[in-house]
């Protein structure tokens, strides 16, 4: 860690009764100051359990958790690290008797069940699927079911985090709509489904994120017993990345901050990357009025002078303001890799990474970024890195667990172990499951599958039944591993079935993690297995309270989970996937994911800057991040036009570019091909901004 500046030291060692608002761009040492302030508070004898550390999402807590989990920490209480959403859940659980009756739950005497993103989508699917299939809801819409369910949930979330009644979702979307009248019918369907879901939750004591936060903000927060508990528990606040948090969170902090002895609020200027999730930088900035002093950090501890100048020039070019950039700066700040075809461009990227590693740069100092990380792009890059034996890691929170080979393997083996589910994997799935779990190649796995597997009755014949000449082709070593797995599955079938997460732990520990099997030394597969088991556990915990009235002879939680994944319901984002990966590796990730990891890199590769994906937001026909926001509330009655869309896209791109360059130490490498991933030439806004900067250099 570089030496602390004078202004950092002053903030860290500020009096224990002062409230400070620290702001500045990325890389100016704000989070480092927050971590050191926490260390200082603990060193002054402040009880750890009287300190509350808030962030908008849990992944942003990593620098603080490294301190809290370090050996230097003395024994005693624990600092509470939370999000407002997490705090809301704790308070709903702790003060349930108060919350349940006031919030209108039908059975306040029964305990609550807290839903994850997955289980909320499960219940949403349970309620909405019949409306789609029997009554023609969303008939004019072509969209994956999982996206449909998640966007209805997003509307409920937006209502809660902004602070308007969920019954107004449709009216707000409709009032801003300008286009095909059929869209108004879709908004009406959204409202009916959202209302149906909320009613079901209140009848069955189910709390999704929106209901947890609504109960906390509307019922518990104003209750004297709850306020006394929170005020008595916490005397010191550290609130990092306030600009990314929700307006309702800012409302709570605004009222709460006066109860703290000291507070350090940290705000990243020109950020606000989570606005599509409801984040509101404007209400975050307003918290500065609640503090004793506002302190600006201006000196970057990350970016070189040339990167800072490039950032200023690019942002100005995107926003169409004039700015001259010295030629020498850009020569050092970025380089361009060009090729005719997309695969050739990826080859160049990996070759350039090899050069950087040969020059002594650590793999962890290199990131490969794209606007979206498609399955094809992810496979193409990581496969090339693998061939060159370059360590890599990838993080794509939106990627469904069902798309991961490791989880597909586990779920296929689960179907084989539970014939009463009546799920019959095809030979393709079995071959890939055997290939991965038995650590072999696809040819031998397919050969083995064709001989031993009978799909109709889920039969797996023994290796001994195979003709000797075929045994030799498959190899006896593979045959031994298959035999062990088969015997284990057959023995399991004869016992009483375990809950699915228990079964997977048993399968993992006793067979497929053993030497010679596919999960033995594959840390990425182990991470995915851990996430899958955690996902299933949360699903089971959320479902069991309502299991009694849903259960029957043909109902099984394990099979329901498989059905949920086959519908494309995505897995929640698991912190384990951010923590346990090999950190000394090249990171391959979507650009916004990298920003929310809040870590710098020496060299960043930007894939296909001509792609429109860098500037265009994902289509969300059932919700709208800007119309369902506080900023838009002030202009109710106005229509959302193409001009509004272009303005917001441009502002978002400027924030994205500034944020990425604020986390870059030395160089940006643009990787371009004449024909992009989709086979067309890209001429997006980001590429045109770079061209403007280059033209200024030439002038």
Q: What is the mean pLDDT of residues 678-686?
A: 70
Lowest mean pLDDT among 31-45, 182-196, 670-684: 670-684
With residue 256 as reference, give the H or E element that holds it: helix 247-256
Chain segment 66-121, per-residue pLDDT in tens = 888 887 666 667 999 999 999 999 999 999 999 998 999 999 999 998 988 888 98
| Cα–Cα dist 671/345, whole Å | 6
Q: What is the mean pLDDT of residues 515-528?
A: 87
Same domain for 606 and 501: no
Tell me how many degrees the CA angle 125-130-133 measures, rounded to the nearest 5: 110
Domain with 612, as residue range(s), is 305-399+580-698
Cβ count within 10 A of residue 575: 15
Indicate the pLDDT class of residue 552, thresholds 50, 70 and 90. Answer: very low
Structure confidence at residue 409 (pLDDT): 94
Does 36 score more than 60 pLDDT? Answer: yes
Same domain for 554 and 602: no
| Cα–Cα dist 353/346, whole Å | 11
Answer yes or no: is 684 within a domain.
yes
Does 191 score more than 90 pLDDT? Answer: yes
Same domain for 333 and 243: no
| Cα–Cα dist 142/428, whole Å | 28
Does 151 score more than 50 pLDDT? Answer: yes
Does 189 score more than 90 pLDDT? Answer: yes
Query: What is the side-by-side strand order in the sheet with 80-82?
Result: 80-82, 51-54, 236-239, 262-268, 19-24, 293-297
Same domain for 420 and 557: yes
Per-residue burial over 10-41, b = 16 or more CB atoms within 10 Å of its CB, e = otherwise = ebbebeeeebbbbbbbbbbbbbbbbbbbbbbb
Answer yes or no: is 395 within a domain.
yes
Structure confidence at residue 291 (pLDDT): 97
Structure confidence at residue 271 (pLDDT): 86
Structure confidence at residue 76 (pLDDT): 67
Examine the fold and report which residue of 567, 590, 618 is the final residue of a domain before the chain moves on.
567
Does 352 score more than 90 pLDDT? Answer: yes
- 504: its two tokens: 């997977």
Structure confidence at residue 327 (pLDDT): 42
Answer yes or no: is 575 within a domain.
no
Q: What is the mean pLDDT of the chain?
A: 88
Structure confidence at residue 394 (pLDDT): 83
Same domain for 231 and 137: no
Per-residue burial over 617-635, b = 16 or more CB atoms within 10 Å of its CB, e = otherwise = eeeebbbbbbbbbbbbeee
Q: What is the mean pLDDT of residues 585-610?
A: 92
Answer yes or no: is 330 within a domain.
yes
Indicate the pLDDT class of residue 40, thresholds 50, 70 and 90. Answer: very high
- 343: its two tokens: 């695969």
Same domain for 347 and 283: no
> For the chain, what percent of residues have pLDDT higher than 70?
91
Examine the fold and report which residue of 259, 278, 297 is the final residue of a domain before the chain moves on.
297
Same domain for 643 and 661: yes
Structure confidence at residue 545 (pLDDT): 62
Q: What is the mean pLDDT of residues 555-582?
A: 64
Same domain for 254 and 331: no
Structure confidence at residue 393 (pLDDT): 87
Indicate the pLDDT class of residue 654, thresholds 50, 70 and 90. Answer: very high
Examine the fold and report which residue of 213, 235, 262 is the final residue of a domain before the chain moves on.
213
Rg (CA), the chain: 27
With residue 329 as reference, give the H or E element that holds it: helix 327-333
Answer yes or no: is 505 within a domain.
yes
Answer yes or no: is 358 within a domain.
yes
- 511: its two tokens: 């067979």
Q: 6 — phi, psi (to 5°)?
A: -60, -40
Lowest mean pLDDT among 519-523, 562-566, 571-575: 571-575
Q: What is the mean pLDDT of residues 258-267?
A: 97
Structure confidence at residue 554 (pLDDT): 47
Chain segment 272-308, per-residue pLDDT in tens = 888 888 899 999 999 999 999 999 999 988 988 999 9
Q: Which residues contact 37 (CB under 8 A, 6 or more apart)?
A: 11, 12, 14, 238, 264
Same domain for 276 and 174: no
Does 414 score more than 80 pLDDT? Answer: yes
**Dihedral angle at the C-alpha atoms of 202, 203, 208, 212, nearest 10 degrees?**
40
Q: What is the mean pLDDT of residues 602-627?
A: 91
Does 317 score more than 80 pLDDT? Answer: yes
Q: What's the number of domains the chain is made of?
A: 4
Q: What is the mean pLDDT of residues 352-363?
A: 96
Indicate the pLDDT class of residue 491, thresholds 50, 70 and 90. Answer: very high
Which residue has tokens 């189910």? 206
Q: Would you call 425 exposed, middle or buried from its count of C-beta atoms within 10 A (0-12, 13-18, 19+)? A: buried
């Amino acid at each position: 860690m570089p030496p602390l500046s004078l202004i950092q030291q002053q903030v860290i060692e500020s009096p224990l009764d002062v409230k400070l608002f620290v702001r500045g761009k990325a890389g100016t040492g704000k989070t480092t100051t927050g971590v050191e302030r926490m260390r200082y508070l603990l060193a002054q004898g402040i009880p750890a359990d009287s300190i509350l550390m808030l962030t908008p999402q849990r992944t942003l807590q990593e620098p603080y958790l490294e301190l809290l989990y370090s050996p230097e920490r003395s024994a005693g209480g624990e600092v509470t690290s939370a999000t407002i959403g997490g705090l809301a859940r704790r308070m709903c659980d702790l003060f349930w008797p108060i919350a349940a009756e006031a919030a209108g739950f039908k059975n306040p005497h029964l305990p609550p069940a807290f839903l994850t993103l997955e289980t909320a989508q499960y219940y949403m699917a349970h309620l909405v699927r019949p409306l789609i299939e029997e009554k023609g809801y969303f008939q004019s819409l072509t969209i994956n079911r999982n996206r449909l369910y998640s966007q209805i949930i997003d509307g409920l979330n937006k209502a809660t985090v902004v602070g308007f009644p969920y019954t107004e979702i449709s009216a707000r979307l409709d009032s801003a709509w300008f286009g095909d009248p059929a869209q108004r019918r879709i908004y009406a369907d959204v409202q009916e489904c959202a209302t149906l879901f909320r009613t079901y939750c209140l009848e069955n004591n189910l709390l999704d994120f929106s209901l947890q936060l609504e109960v906390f903000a509307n019922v518990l927060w104003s209750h004297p017993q709850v306020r006394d508990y929170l005020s008595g528990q916490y005397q010191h606040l550290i609130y990092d990345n306030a600009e990314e948090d929700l307006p309702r969170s800012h409302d709570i902090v605004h009222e709460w901050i006066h109860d703290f002895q000291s507070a350090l609020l940290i705000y990243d200027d020109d950020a606000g990357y989570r606005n599509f999730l409801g984040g509101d930088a404007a209400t975050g900035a307003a918290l500065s009025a609640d503090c004793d002093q506002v302190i600006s950090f201006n000196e970057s501890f990350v970016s070189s002078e040339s990167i800072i100048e490039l950032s200023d020039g690019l942002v100005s070019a995107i926003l169409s303001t004039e700015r001259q950039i010295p030629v020498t700066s850009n020569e050092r700040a970025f380089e361009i890799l060009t090729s005719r075809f997309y695969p050739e461009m990826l080859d160049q990227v990996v070759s350039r990474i090899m050069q950087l590693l040969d020059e002594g740069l650590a793999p962890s100092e290199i990131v490969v970024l794209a606007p979206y990380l498609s399955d094809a792009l992810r496979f193409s890059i990581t496969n090339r890195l693998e061939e060159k034996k370059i360590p890599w890691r990838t993080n794509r929170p939106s990627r469904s667990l069902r798309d991961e080979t490791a989880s597909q393997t586990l779920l296929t083996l689960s179907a084989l172990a539970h014939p009463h589910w009546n799920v019959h994997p095809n030979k393709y799935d079995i071959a890939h499951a055997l290939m991965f779990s038995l650590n072999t190649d696809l040819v031998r796995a397919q050969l083995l599958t064709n001989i031993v597997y009978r799909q109709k009755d889920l039969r797996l014949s023994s290796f001994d039944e195979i003709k000797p000449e075929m045994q030799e082709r498959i190899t006896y070593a593979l045959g031994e591993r298959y035999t062990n797995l088969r015997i284990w599955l057959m023995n399991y079938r004869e016992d009483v079935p375990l809950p699915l997460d228990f079964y997977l732990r048993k399968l993992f520990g006793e067979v497929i993690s053993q030497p010679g099997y596919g999960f033995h030394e594959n840390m990425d597969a182990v991470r995915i297995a851990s996430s899958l088991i955690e996902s299933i556990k949360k699903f089971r915990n959320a479902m069991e309270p309502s299991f009694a009235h849903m259960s029957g002879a043909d109902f099984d939680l394990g099979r329901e989970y498989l059905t949920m994944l086959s519908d494309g319901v995505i897995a929640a984002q698991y912190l384990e996937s951010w923590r346990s990966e090999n950190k000394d590796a090249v990171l391959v990730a979507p650009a916004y994911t990298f920003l929310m990891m809040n870590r710098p890199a020496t060299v960043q590769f930007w894939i296909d800057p001509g792609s429109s994906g860098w500037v265009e937001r994902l289509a969300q026909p059932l919700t709208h991040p800007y119309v369902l926001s506080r900023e838009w509330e002030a202009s109710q009655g106005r229509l959302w036009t193409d001009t509004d869309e272009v303005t917001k896209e441009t502002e978002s791109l400027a924030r994205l570019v500034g944020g990425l360059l604020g986390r870059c130490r030395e160089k940006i490498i643009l990787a371009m091909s004449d024909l992009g991933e989709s086979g067309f030439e890209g001429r997006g806004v980001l590429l045109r901004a770079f061209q403007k900067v280059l033209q200024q250099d030439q002038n």
